[in-house]
Amino acid sequence: FRVCFIDPFQGTVMALFAKNTLKAKNVAVLTDAAAPYSVGLATFFKEKFVADGGKIAVEQKFSSGDKDFKAQLTAIKAANPDAIFAPCYYTEAGLITQQARQLGINLPIFGGDGWEAPELLTIGGKAMDGTYYSTHYSPEDKAEMVATFVRKFKARWNNEVPDAMAALGYDSALVLADAIKRAGGTDGQKLRDALAATKDFVGVTGKTTLDAKRNATKPAVIIEVKDGKFVYKETVNP
């Protein structure tokens, strides 16, 4: 069992974000063909976005480690999309965004949690402003449970701000404790059944339901890069 959503699920969430928040009707997809993470997010994104009435303006591909994306970005610019989905890692995301701006592409660019690293801002610089990515949690979320968790964590750990791994670890313990309570103890079979029956459990990282494959169905948090900082934008429900 896991309390974090699987990587490709972010593609579904970002399709909703593109449609409902960015109001995009035509989206270009820029995929790292050498990375299963990127391919998975792109696949889920395209399926959901098209199913909801959107169109994929163009899809371009590259390989991990590439440094020059101008050919792909030129093709994307010619397709005239409303936004660009780049589900890759921060090393490429920073370069892609920087080169897009150099080519006069001032569209929203967004990706998944592979973007989540301080180095993203070092690589992309000011070009990253106005970009977005999905992740599991934000300490800036105004939900009462999140605020309480952050306050207590900082008090215990020398004012350190808890990251997504800390939040997921906390929720894992809460989900297990809840299952033990419902199972009436720690008998293996009863505990397994209780975990499998977890539905709408409210934690720091959102409301979690465990599906038949023992994966979590839950919201994702959208982070915006604004004035050179990572800022909580919104929470998107699946």
CA distances from 4 to 8, 93, 150, 176, 226 (A): 12, 23, 19, 14, 26
- Asked if the 9-137+218-236 domain carries CATH number 3.40.50.1970, the reply is no
Say whether pLDDT at 7 is over 90: no
Q: Are the CB atoms for 24 and 83 separated by under 8 Å?
A: yes
Query: According to the model, what pLDDT value does residue 199 have?
Result: 97
Query: According to the model, what pLDDT value does residue 225 have?
Result: 97
Distance (Å, rounded) from C-alpha 76 to C-alpha 174? Answer: 45
**What integer best gives the mean pLDDT of the chain?**
96
- Whether 144-217 and 9-137+218-236 are alike in CATH topology: the answer is yes
Say whether pLDDT at 170 is over 90: yes
Indicate the pTM of the whole model: 0.89
Say whether pLDDT at 39 is over 90: yes
Per-residue pLDDT band at 238 (split at 50, 70, 90): confident
Domain boundaries, the chain: 9-137+218-236, 144-217
According to CATH, the topology of domain 144-217 is: Rossmann fold (3.40.50)
* Tens-place pLDDT, residues 136-161: 999 999 899 999 999 999 999 999 99
